[in-house]
Chain A
Amino acid sequence: MRRLRTLKVMITAHSLTKRYGATTAVDNLTFEVPPGEVTGFLGPNGSGKSTTMRMTMGLDVPDSGTALIGGQPYCELAWPLREVGGLLDAKAIHPSRTARNHLRWLALANDIPVRRVDEVLDQVGLTSAAGRRAGKFSLGMSQRLGIAAALLGDPGVLLFDEPVNGLDPEGIRWVRQFLRSLAAEGRTVFVSSHLISEMSLTADRLIVIGRGRLIAETSVADFVARGGPGTVKLVTPDEARFTAALTASGATVAAGAGGSLTVEGLTAPHIGDVAAREGLRIHELTPLAASLEDAFMELTQDEVEYRPTMMAGVAGGAKE
């Protein structure tokens, strides 16, 4: 007997909180991960990404709040591996078991047809290494084996914790395209990273956290826009006079490498107008869009600045 089930399953976290002693690793986190898109989970190292993923997979128990998959806690899923595929730690495999045997016991645990083992090994390009011991695998091969394990039950929800860590450029590109194709099939793809540039290429949406707290839940495009209007690169032989004229017009000017200036607060056309008015020479004028990185720095900086006030708010809330 088989039943049809939609792949459209959402991950939802509600007021998720986890403390380790005096440290709050995950702090009142609420977010949604919708199907059909790659949702990036972005935050500096130690910001609570892995803890959040472990709680979502039922490995760690939250102190309060919930993390649900299609409205159910992970521990209550009927066929966990057929519903959720997780890659949390690629090296968490017994080193003396072969790749094929590792996938075989996983398949048996959820009554998954054993032929799937060779299918997923083929899918990640490990067919020729199937009989080798996992302990002899490079980090890149381990990541592939971890991805194979996640795909074993053909699940609608996939969680990957730092899947490109330790991969070479070719491997990184492979993972990126792979995640995109899984989302294109309608699956829910939740992938964490501390690499902002990588997320800008892979993700459609972003959930950004810092110190366990939600900073932003937004599309990649909106997130970049929050980084501000950007700066303009200016190369000129009349550096001193130009700097004075731009500062007088309200811009902030910083000296860059090789006689270039970085101008903030004026657009390129404005800078051109200033040059024409003052008779200054321009050798290069390039508007630089704010990067995801700038947006991220901007936001995490705010997080640090506002921290004392927010802490007070949290403490007050806890007393209620």
Chain B
Amino acid sequence: MTQAIQTIPTGHYRLKDTVKSEVAKIVTLPSTAIALGVTVVFCLLVTGLVANSALHHGPDWYGGLLITGEYSSGTIRATLSATPRRPILLTAKIAVTAAVTVAFSVLLSFVTFFLGQAILSGGGAPSAGLGSPGAFRAVVMTGLFIALLALMAFGFGLLFRSTAGAIGAFVGVVFVLPLVIRGISEPATRYVPTNILINSVMSTVNQGGIVRPLSAPVGLALMAVYAVIALAAGAALFIKRDA
């Protein structure tokens, strides 16, 4: 049985092949459904309890998990053997992660908004509808903001290659660093992601604190800059580093 030739298509693998492959990976992981499901249940519970749009940080760590899971299982080596051009691979991964987290976060933002307002109006408290001033903007931007947090976590995942490292960095930057910044300069806290989310993006009225918050679009843009910095640092290492 001597087979001296084989056939192979002309051209080469392209971004669309890599994107298809990455989508197939995400949908075949039971942990995707579990992570997103747990997030939904948790957010709805918290919304139900405090009757407010909950701080849903579920999609964040999921964004980090998408890359660190590949390192912890060793799948990254199979991924790179199929798609050795790392810029193409990274583009596909970031695109798919962005699509999943944006869709999920915006959807979740709407669901928690309606649930929260329904509870408020059910209890006779003043409540808002999507038509209320700034409400629609706040709901959509909250979704986008959460997706950007998830992409920042993805960048941390690229940097640290371990789930523990990425979550540690995420908690450090998002929850611990603000405390440090507050100690140094109170006005600077307006640039901190959690404060942007609560004071700029989620709120529709000026809550009149000591620190004047950023406007919602500026806050969202700043969060995008944070995400891009984390992704760029992670990408620079990923492209050079041994797998």
Determine whether the beta carbon of A82 is less than 8 Å from that of B4.
no
Q: Is B18 an interface residue (CB 8 A)?
A: yes
Does B5 have its Cβ within 8 Å of any Cβ on chain A?
yes
CB contacts (< 8 Å) of B185 on chain A: these are: none
Given contact pairs A7-B3, A7-B4, A101 touches B82 in the complex (Cβ within 8 A): no
Give the contacts of A1-43 with B (CB-CB under 8 A): 1-8
**Beta-carbon contact of A78 and B11 below 8 Å:** yes
Q: Mark B17-30, 1 if CB is under 8 A from A, else 0.
A: 11011101100111
- Tell me, yes or no, whether A122 is within 8 Å of chain B by CB: no
Closest to B1 in A: A185
The residue from A77, A94, A104 contacting B75, defined by CB atoms under 8 A apart = A94
In the bound complex, how far is the Cα of B153 from the Cα of A287, in angstroms? 68
Residues of A within 8 A of B (CB-CB), count: 50
**In the complex the two chains form, is B8's CB within 8 Å of A2's CB?**
yes
Chain B min CB distance to A23 (Å): 14
In the complex, whether B207 has a CB less than 8 A from a CB of chain A is no
Instruction: Indicate whether A217 reaches chain B with its CB closer than 8 angstroms.
Output: no
Residues of B within 8 A of A154 (CB): 6
Tell me how far the C-beta of A103 lies from the nearest C-beta in chain B, rounded to whole angstroms.
10
Which of A81, A104, A110 is close to B24, meaning CB atoms less than 8 Å apart? A104
Whether A108 and B8, one on each chain, are in contact in the complex, defined by CB atoms closer than 8 angstroms, is no
Using Cβ atoms and an 8 Å threshold, which residues of chain B touch A81?
Answer: 81-82
A185 touches B3 (CB 8 A): yes
With A59-B242, A92-B73: A108-B21 Cβ-Cβ less than 8 Å? yes
In the complex, what residues of B have CB within 8 A of residue A190's CB? none
Chain B minimum-CB-distance residue to A90: B74
Q: Check if A98 is an interface residue, CB within 8 A of chain B.
A: yes
B212 contacts chain A at the CB level, 8 A cutoff: no
* A binding-site residues for B, Cβ under 8 Å: 1-8, 54, 57-61, 74-75, 77-84, 86, 88-89, 91-98, 101, 104-106, 108-111, 149, 154, 156, 181, 184-186
A153 to B94, CA, bound (A): 26
- Known A-B contacts A93-B75, A95-B73, A109-B18; A4 and B5 likewise in contact (beta carbons under 8 Å): yes
Q: Which residues of B contact A (CB under 8 A)?
A: 1-13, 17-18, 20-22, 24-25, 28-31, 69-70, 73-75, 77-85, 240, 242-243
Residues from chain B with Cβ under 8 Å of A98 in the complex: 28
B32 closest partner in A (C-beta):
A96
What are 24 A-B contacts with C-beta separation under 8 Å?
A3-B10, A4-B5, A4-B7, A5-B8, A7-B4, A57-B81, A60-B243, A74-B84, A77-B84, A79-B9, A80-B83, A82-B8, A94-B75, A95-B73, A96-B29, A96-B30, A105-B21, A109-B18, A109-B79, A109-B83, A111-B9, A184-B2, A185-B1, A185-B3
Residue of chain B at shortest CB distance from A73: B84
Contacting B77 at CB < 8 Å: which of A5, A77, A92, A111? A92
Cβ contacts under 8 Å, A106 to chain B:
21, 78, 82
